[in-house]
Homo-oligomer: A and B are copies of this chain.
Amino acid sequence: MDELHSLYYLLDLAGTFAFAISGATAARKRNLDLFGICAIAFTVACGGGIIRDLCIGAIPPAGLTNWQYLVVSVIATALTVGFYPVVQQLNRPVLFFDSVGLALFAVTGAQKALSFGHNGEVALLLGITTAVGGGVIRDVLLTRVPVILEKEIYASAALAGAAIVVLGHNQKWISSDWVAIIALIVCFSLRILALRFRWNLPTPTNKKPKAKK
């Protein structure tokens, strides 16, 4: 039980860090000021989890009570601001960190909903919400249509990860640690492969598709 809790805690913290980096990078590209960058970093990192906690009745939300999350966000912001040339040089770092956070948050989000005694559908939907909620809020704050709704296997990967957690929870013959590890690998792989091979979900196009916006 302690091990599971430690694993859960570490996964949560690592996911927070990954998302904060991704949020700070996006905010910096839009020339936000220092507070704006930090706010977007924190929002991306904790936004999905805060919505999840409100929905499962975990009051106050974990993102607001633990100094760790805020500190991790500030550190991620400082790294992104202070070492931006380095971060910029990395090959698609935003996409990589996003994929790590995606898998971590989908799994821990679904686990937390189940641990609060809610049913499989709640865990499934809130696993996805934890994973993509922060990114959706980021895109809304930067006034663009959330990229996850337009193309790419992204939320679908989170759905796969959360679904494995829910299925594993119902099948008692496998430990939840292993379930979490399998779910993480599947979700992360799905996302990275989708990026690598440019997999997309089908877009039902009109006769003559034109770029609206």
- Asked whether, in the complex, the Cβ of B28 is within 8 Å of the Cβ of A122, the reply is no
| Docked-complex contact B64 and A121, CB < 8 angstroms | yes
| CB atoms of A150 and B36 under 8 A apart | yes
Residues A149 and B35 in contact in the complex (CB < 8 Å), given A64-B55, A121-B65, A125-B70: yes
> A147-177 interface mask toward B, CB cutoff 8 Å, 1 = contact, 0 = none?
0111110011000000000000000000000
A84 touches B141 (CB 8 A): no
> Whole-angstrom distance between the alpha carbons of A45 and B118 in the complex?
21
A32 touching B203, Cβ below 8 Å: yes
A32: chain B residues within 8 A (beta carbon): 145, 149-150, 203
A131 within 8 A of B: no
The answer to whether A33 touches B145, judged by C-beta atoms less than 8 angstroms apart, is: no
